[in-house]
Amino acid sequence: MRAWRVTRPGPITSGPLTQHEESVPTPAPGELLVRVLACGVCRTDLHVASGELPTRRPAVVPGHEVVGVVEGSGPGSTAVEGGEFAPGDRVGVPWLRHTCQRCRYCARGAENLCPDSQYTGWDADGGYADYTTVPADYALPLPEGYSDAELAPLLCAGIIGYRALRRASLPAGGRLGVYGFGASAHLTTQVALAEGARVHVMTRGTGARNLAADLGAHSVQGAADPPPEPLDSAILFAPAGDLVPTALAALDRGGTLAVAGIHLTRIPPLDYDAHLFQERQVRSVTANTREDARAFLRVAGRHRLRVSTVAYALDEADCALADLAAGRVVGAAVLLPDVPGRRTGSG
């Protein structure tokens, strides 16, 4: 099978990914073997490839927005015990891959904070390949009515955006600010709109602004521009720490800013009166729980989300990451193993 590995972590222009021909993986006890039908290209993959996230597994296969078909299983998996998944089922392989289920965080339902948590495409090989594996207990059922390419971004961009929206404590009918408008933001905006929010998008790039307006945002402006009304809540999707003071200053009294990224550049000094007084607050977002994932996918099943995707062949994974790094992807990039390559972009 084909697999891309991060063999030289560094700037995308330095070529950190290399493609290999290797054997199909053997699922361990409790794991499913999954043939990859589509794999989303997430900004976290960019952080793994560039070395902005520390190496957990040398030469890892990135990719954690995997839609695939169950082809087999290791001993003790639910696929052979009459459980949720069986050979031939379409299944989602997400970011969260393992938690200990014993620590105090897991015990209180916060498994996303588990010190022993492991992640697909960082601690274990992911979906930039023809096949991958997933512990059956962490695989996800998928909603009907979406193509493989449309489902892929839901499995991280959608899930983490959903958790960020909940962390932002948006009141019913509230005013939400969205900073940055990529794969996650364009899905989260639709969920917020479906729930009755007024959404204001602050982002750079003409394509992203046009998509935000097309999806129904109440206003669209530059990344550092003030929204037209005070915000009850805001979500920072862009990995730009200099936008934290900007977003906090746009909040109304009692407002909450949720920072959705796994990586963020340095935050400038905050002014207490301008940014935090009147009970404005900032919260980070760390991964997600399995219940977050299942709850979001139920929402996606009820509300047919419009998923904006740009298709790349699996052989073009390096190009897809280069285009993402350069801001050339509007919506979500998705690798499709069976489509012919174009070799677009700068990879």
Residues contacting residue 111 through CB under 8 Å, at least 6 positions apart = 96, 99, 101, 105, 117, 289, 290
DSSP structure class, residue 28: P
| Tens of each residue's pLDDT in the chain, 347 residues | 999 999 999 999 999 999 999 999 999 999 999 999 999 999 999 999 999 999 999 999 999 999 999 999 998 765 555 568 999 999 999 999 999 999 999 999 999 999 999 999 999 999 999 999 999 999 999 999 999 999 999 999 999 999 999 999 999 999 999 999 999 999 999 999 999 999 999 999 999 999 999 999 999 999 999 999 999 999 999 999 999 999 999 999 999 999 998 999 999 999 999 999 999 999 999 999 999 999 999 999 999 999 999 999 999 999 999 999 999 999 899 999 987 766 544 33
206-224 burial code (b ≥16 CB/10 A, e <16): eebbebbeebebbbbbebe
Instruction: For residue 172, count other CB atoms closer than 10 A to its CB.
Output: 8
The pLDDT value recorded for residue 343 is: 52
The rounded distance, in Å, linking the Cα atoms of 332 and 326 is 13
The rounded percent of the chain whose pLDDT value lies above 70 is 96
* 3 state DSSP class of 343: coil
Task: Report all structural domains of the chain as residue ranges with CATH numbers, in order of start.
Answer: 2-146+307-336 (3.90.180.10), 159-284 (3.40.50.720)
The pLDDT value recorded for residue 162 is: 98
256-288 tens-digit pLDDT: 999 998 999 999 999 999 999 999 999 999 999
Interhelix angle 159-167/183-194, rounded to 10 degrees, is: 60
The model's pTM: 0.92
The rounded distance, in Å, linking the Cα atoms of 31 and 69 is 13
The rounded distance, in Å, linking the Cα atoms of 301 and 199 is 22
Residues 97, 119 contacting (CB under 8 angstroms) = yes
The pLDDT value recorded for residue 84 is: 84
